[in-house]
Amino acid sequence: MRVYLVAVERPGSRRWHVSLDPSLRADVLYHAQRRAAVRLWRSARPYPLGTALAEVRRLNRDGRRPFRAWRPEREPVVVPADGGKIGSDPFLDKLSGEAPGAEENRVISGGHADAADKPADLAGRLTEAMAGRSLLAEEFESLVQSLGLGGAGGDWRFLAQWGILSGWFTLRPSVEVAGRRGRPLPRKRALCLRCGADERWMRYTACASCGETCPYCERCLTMGRARACTPLIAGAAKPSGVAGTVPERFVCDGGPATGNAVVAESDTAMAGPSGGTASATGERDAVADALSAVPGLALNPVQEEAAREALRFVLSSRPSQSGGEVRSFLIWAVTGAGKTEMIFPLIAAVRARGGRVAVATPRKDVVLELVPRISAAFPEEKVAGLYGGAGRKWPTGGIIVSTTHQLIRHEAAFDLVVLDEVDAFPFHGDPMLAHAARKALKPGAAFVMLSATPPRDMQRDVRRGRLPCATVPVRHHRHPLPVPACERPAKLAALLIRTLERGAQAFVFVPRIAMLEPELARLRKALDGVCPPGRIEATSSRDPMREDKVRRLRAGDIRILLTTTILERGVTIPKADVYVLEADHRLFDAAALVQMAGRAGRSAEDPEGRVAFLAVRLTREQRRAIREIRRMNKLARQKGWLAKSGDSGRRGNRPAPESRPSRFFGFISGRASGQQAGSGAGDRSANRKGWRAWRD
């Protein structure tokens, strides 16, 4: 968009700013209300936002030499010292529109969903809704409308400008372009201030909004178009610190935040009752308090120890506005360890200090599942779920449960971000989402990652002591993880019959969607007379009936489900076996194999589900997966955390004699794909060694 430059002239001084409000009404009112005698000069024409902001910076730095294009309009707007008639605008009444006397003990409520909860004044509602948010202009407009403020005193441009002048919001271009004006550089350098993308992601097109050639960011395009001329409006995370006309009304009641007090996050509040230099006793107390804060939460000793370690980490972080590195912590918990319960004490600890928490997960269905669980654990809290397709609503609360993508609309907002399944698509390997997660944290705040299969670079950091980590090597029922057996592909039907005979259900994973139909037909035929064809189904990301089939699987109606890795996480069936077809496929890395294996033996009733990798060869990734599972079982056994002695999970899963390595090795060098690192002839001895380690 194009915006006007405004020169604010006082006797002896001149300052420039950009006004989003073309009528200058916000600017005039703001100065009138402050009883400031000023003359406002508006530029004769509007400029693209990015250019205008750069010029304002330059003008304010060196005010004596306005740039050549600065052509103010002939007449200034004069604001007299007494504010004049301008000062009695209906908007100003709405700004602090509340009966006097109702202001004592006010707590700004955690949302706008409830009319009774709303702060009646416009300033409170706007700053609260914008707290920690960073929005494109169109998103800000939508937020203003959702608050019902559209008609409260002007359009979004007016409200944005008022907020910027009042110091509630900051204004930046969504994409910042470095380079001298008027001199086309051979290489421009543009940076997306929203997702952190650099020049490589920029597309320069003729822009209808500003009328010039204007870059937009392609990386975060799915979240709305960030252009060099699109305003990026960020709300202060800490309304108690905002400058402006009505600061006192943002002061909360100060005590430990219960209920809906979401804006108590001042630095002092975060320091907690124990003060800035928390003594060891104070910290111990805080840990104990947090562990007992959630009624009905029953952690087993393993979960509790991990939660304790993570709590000590979270409690030692000191978010501030002034700076400091984001600090990370990893909870490395095997599949089925009950990691959601482990984060409840962390949430309790941060909320007790008045901080805000975001729980982010890569998948929308997990958001939908977590919101009621967290709401039930924290009945006093307002828990907001954010995900794509939730409609143009802007819920807010002390606890946000969000898809990782939605974090991009936040900035310096949270004292704790818990990131679930840090290794999962789309988070892993997407620098945009990593940037979003870090940007959403206040400086110095705590970043807690959860994973059953951390990426290798993260594991390395843990080993080298660069990343503090709590390991939970045992499931909530404290039985060992089922160790995968290696079988020939031809054995699938026989294995499935065994599964059906023991009354279990089966996941059959395949690497490619194209395999599903032929495998389904084959299995239905092979199991004819054992299992009705309607109880064997296949599903994938392209299946419109997927949700229905998952429901039927949960209900026990489907006995055998063929699927791709879309179901490697999330769906839990109490009594299930897992078979991975083409386990040697290059798409199946160790993490995916561990996740798939993790679908078996989840419940206390059937903790010893069976897992088999069906392939003609044993790849490095399969060996890694098996080694990883064994390592966790060993760790659990050493710590004495297993429910009973002996590796009972291994029984029945021992590789059958016919699957011994000699038969496989003939295939290894010949069929190894190029993408398999280190595959080929030189890998053979390593294979043999790995195999021995696996077998023994």
Q: What are the tokens at 485?
A: 């057996």
Residues 40, 7: contact at Cβ < 8 Å? yes
**Residue 184 carries which DSSP code?**
-
Restricting to residues 46-65, which ones interact with Zn ion according to CB under 5 A? Answer: none
CA 423/CA 181 separation, integer angstroms = 43
Q: For Zn ion, what does the binding mask look like between residues 435 and 464, x meaning CB under 5 A?
A: ------------------------------
* Minimum CB distance to Zn ion smaller for 114 or for 198: 198
Q: In 3D, which of 315, 339, 341 has the Cα closest to residue 327?
A: 315
- The binder of Zn ion chosen from 192, 367, 581, 615 (CB under 5 A): 192
Q: How far is the CB of 340 from Zn ion (least distance, A)?
A: 31
The DSSP-derived string for 250-296 is G----SS--TT------HHHHH-TT-SS--HHHHHHHHHHHHHSSTT
**Minimum distance between the CB of residue 184 and Zn ion, rounded to whole angstroms?**
16
Return the residue of 107, 129, 152, 195 that touches Zn ion, per CB under 5 A.
195
Q: Is 193 in the site for Zn ion (CB under 5 A)?
A: no
Options 220, 311, 400, 506; binder of Zn ion; rule CB under 5 A: 220
176 binds Zn ion (CB under 5 A): no
- Please state, in angstroms and rounded to a whole number, the distance separating the CA atoms of residues 194 and 174: 6
Q: Which CB sits closer to Zn ion, 197 or 350?
A: 197
What tokens does 650 get? 């291994």
Total binding residues toward Zn ion, as defined by CB under 5 A:
14
Residue 190 as a binder of Zn ion (CB under 5 A): the answer is no
Separation CA 631–CA 639 (nearest Å): 12
Binding of Zn ion by 214 (CB under 5 A): yes
Site membership for Zn ion, residue 218 (CB under 5 A): no
Q: Report helix, strand or coil for 7.
A: strand
Could you say whether residue 209 binds Zn ion (CB under 5 A)?
yes
Instruction: Please name the residue that has the structure tokens 């996050």.
Output: 265
Q: Rounded to a whole number, what is the largest CA-CA distance in the chain?
A: 96
Per-residue tokens: 552: 């039927």
What one-letter code names the amino acid at 360?
A
Using the contact rule CB under 5 A, the part of the chain among 117-125, 193-201, 375-383, 636-644 near Zn ion is 193-201
The SS3 assignment for 141 reads helix
- Name the H helices within 353-470: 364-377, 431-440, 456-463
Give me the least distance between CB of 356 and Zn ion, in Å please: 24
Stretch that binds Zn ion, among 37-45, 183-191, 208-216, 667-675 (CB under 5 A): 208-216
523: buried, middle or exposed (CB in 10 Å: 19+, 13-18, 0-12)? buried
Segment interacting with Zn ion (CB under 5 A) among 195-203, 408-416, 475-483, 526-534: 195-203
**In this chain, which of 7, 18, 86, 197 binds Zn ion, going by CB under 5 A?**
197
210 binds Zn ion (CB under 5 A): yes
Task: State the minimum distance, in angstroms, from the CB of residue 139 to Zn ion.
Answer: 14
Task: Verify binding: residue 217, Zn ion, rule CB under 5 A.
Answer: yes
Is residue 3 within the footprint of Zn ion (CB under 5 A)? no
Instruction: Show the tokens assigned to 456.
Output: 């290798």
List 207, 242, 399, 448, residue binding Zn ion (CB under 5 A): 207
Pairing of strands 576-581, 611-614: parallel
Of 203-211, 242-250, 367-375, 460-468, which part binds Zn ion (CB under 5 A)?
Answer: 203-211
> Which run of H or of E encompasses 203?
strand 202-206
Q: How many helices (H) and strands (E) does the chain have?
A: 20, 25
Which of 113/221 has CB closer to Zn ion?
A: 221
Cα dihedral 526, 530, 532, 535, rounded to 10, equals -90
**At closest approach, how far in Å is the CB of 209 from Zn ion?**
5
CB of 163 to Zn ion, least distance (A): 23
Q: Which is nearer to Zn ion, 88 or 222 (CB)?
A: 222
Residue 229 or 287 with smaller CB distance to Zn ion: 229
Residue 69 beta carbon to Zn ion: minimum distance, rounded to whole angstroms: 17
* Structural contact between residues 137 and 164, judged by C-beta atoms closer than 8 angstroms: no
Is residue 596 near Zn ion by the rule CB under 5 A?
A: no
Three-state SS at 579: strand
Instruction: Enter the tokens of residue 627.
Output: 């080694």
Is 229 among the residues that bind Zn ion (CB under 5 A)? yes
Contact 321, 241 (CB under 8 A): yes
**Interstrand relation of 357-361 and 414-419 (parallel, antiparallel or unpaired):** parallel
Least gap, CB of 220 to Zn ion (angstroms): 3
**Min dist. Cβ of residue 409 to Zn ion (A):** 12
- Which region, judged by CB under 5 A, interacts with Zn ion, from 223-231, 361-369, 597-605, 673-681? 223-231
Tell me how far apart the alpha carbons of residues 304 and 610 are, in angstroms, rounded to a whole number.
28
Nearer to Zn ion, 48 or 83 (CB): 48
Instruction: From 20-28, 38-46, 184-192, 485-493, give the range in contact with Zn ion by CB under 5 A.
Output: 184-192
* Residue given tokens 């189904």 in the structure block: 537
C-alpha 303/C-alpha 305 separation (Å) is 5
* Binding interface with Zn ion (CB under 5 A): 192, 194-195, 197, 207, 209-210, 214, 217, 219-220, 226-227, 229
